[in-house]
A and B are shown apart, each in its own frame.
Chain A
Amino acid sequence: MAKKKLILYALILVFTFIAPFAFPAYGTQLATLWLMIIVAITWDMTGGQMGYNSLGNIFFYGTGMYVAALISIGQVYDVGEYTSAAGGGIYEFTDAQYFSGLFLGVISAGIFCSITAVLIGYITFGLRGPYFAIGTLAVAIAAGELVSNWEWVGGGQGIALPVYPGDLDVGKTFFYFLFASVGVSVFIFVKWLYGTRFGAAINAIRDDEEKAEAMGIHTLRYKLITWAMAAFFVGMAGGISGFQLIHFEPLETAYQTINLGIFMVVCVLLGGKGTLWGPVVGAILFHLFKEVTWTYFLGWQWVALGALIVVTVVYFQDGVMGWVMRKRPEWFGIRVEESK
């Protein structure tokens, strides 16, 4: 069994490496798929494993994007001057400046988002159930509106970042591997995390928070740490997205509450909440569905997407992994055991 698993993981890793070369036309698509996997897994950390359905995780995506961009610009030029030129001025970045800005920016984005997660969480974790969802959604919407009125960071026009130096096809592969490395890291990270006592404690918070409190679990501390961990990865993904997109603006790209902000939730519901593989499976299925409808049913894509959400929520709440778990409980070790 363990050997089979190892082979499976190895196959996935090999596929991850050859995918952009095997399907060169789909480079950006595959990079976006990894982005979906990252935001789905991190959403499931609070939504699936801890029982706090956040609609505000997109806040970390947008904030990460801005933090990464500002840090990489700020290390070479004056930010206000750069953004007021709105891409019209001549601002050159050397290769070294580009890459150091990118890596420094992406890491800082992760750290900054972790800190904001703790601050926002301290206020919003007092809310339960749907109130938490609405509260966090409000944070993301408010952040988008605030940033779009903040001239120093480009206001509603957003920020134009330098283009990848060198061949653009190589650039596509480069961003694919950036996303893939964050995606693989986050998967390994949660696989480890869910096996710890900490993982068990956040499951306890999901299933009965009052009981968890009565057993002396540090509920608030664990909730804050979990969200901060999730925010770290989402912030990094946002930062990478900023450089991949080259130009982004606050409402439709960075703080895109109605697109990616909802997609990540749908991915997890489709794949199966609170399971290790659910978010990954869900992200792949959702991305396929989305791209197929966008390509072949243009004009009807939002209708198709809405129908998918309705069907998932009403008839398929356990998702793919939940369904498998119900059909084959013995695969997951649910059984009566003879006494010693």
Chain B
Amino acid sequence: MTAIIEIQGVCKAYGGVVANKEVSMEIKSGGITGLIGPNGSGKTTLFNSVVGYHPIDAGSIKFEGKEISKLQVQDIARLGLLRTFQQTRIYGLMNGVENMLISLPHRKMNLWDALKPNSKEDYEKADRLLEFVGLYEKRLLKSGALSFGQQKLLEFAMALMNEPTCLLLDEPTAGINPTLINGLIDRLKRANAEFGITLFIIEHNMRVIMNMADTIYCMAHGEMLAQGTPDEIQNDQRVIDAYLGAH
């Protein structure tokens, strides 16, 4: 498996606070890569650097071999590298179907296509994906009225609608009730297997990430601490120390 995202020596500081120090990692194409670490260890900062939310101080980030660390959010999204937000972001005033239709991949359209109404296939695709995440019954409600967990599922469905090559998920299971989590794990795995989308996931829930990921990276204090398979990470003394605050 080749690397779809290569991160080399990325540094990012907010004023005096160093959030990422010489971080390097690789996300394998077609796989599920996890990123864990205690609160404040710099995971979301790294995510934001990858998707172009802020400029990085040093280092290089490549997506499919192309340097993207200087590109802006929209340009990166148009390459097929998409992210979901830790604080879920959906269009609250619109219903589920509208949310899905907005998420059609505009990068694959020219202006002429954009000036057409949504086709029957678009609607079918929206319905199919809404069914996939289990929101079909609620698709005509304003999405702002959905519960937080349902909004997360909707955001995930929207991301799938966009047909990304690689999807970055920032804590997909945070705030979702435990019974829904199993369903979500299953769906993430299916999205990876059936749609061939590379997943890169920040997660706090160890059970979830150990069940899904094939490779896990662990960060602490802005630095990359360890990498390995779920088993290796679980038995790594440095990781355990970082979580228990031995540092």
Contacts and interface: CB of A to CB of B under 8 A. Distances in A.
B77 A334 contact: no
A340 B51 CA distance: 38
Interchain residue pairs A-B with the least CB separation, the first 5: A216-B77, A207-B91, A216-B78, A211-B89, A204-B102
B92 interface: yes
Interface string B88-126: 011111110010011111110101011111100000000
Interface in B151-179: 158, 162
A217 B117 contact: no
B139 interface: yes
Among A212, A221, A338, which residue has the most Cβ atoms of chain B within 10 A? A212
B140 A216 contact: no
B150 to A, nearest CB: 13
Given A200-B102, A211-B91, A218 B74 contact: yes
A214 B116 contact: no
Interface stretch (A7-15, A31-39, A78-86, A190-198): A190-198
B91 A203 contact: yes
Interface of A: 193, 195-198, 200-201, 203-204, 207-208, 210-219, 221-222, 225, 333-340
A201 B111 CA distance: 12
A336 B141 contact: yes
A337 B137 contact: yes
B162 A216 contact: yes
Given A336-B137, A336-B138, A336-B141, A204 B78 contact: no
B136 interface: yes
A96 B167 CA distance: 63
Nearest to B138: A336
A219 B92 CA distance: 19
B218 interface: no
B35 to A, nearest CB: 18
Contact of B136 (A207, A218, A340): A340
Interface residues of B, number: 41
B106 to A, nearest CB: 5
A222 B114 CA distance: 10
A218 B106 contact: yes
B83 A201 contact: no
A33 B66 CA distance: 56
A201 B140 contact: no
A213 B95 CA distance: 20
A215 B137 contact: no
A217 B117 CA distance: 16
B94 A203 contact: yes
B117 A215 contact: no
Interface string B60-89: 000000000000011001100011010001
Contacts of B28: none
A225 to B, nearest CB: 8
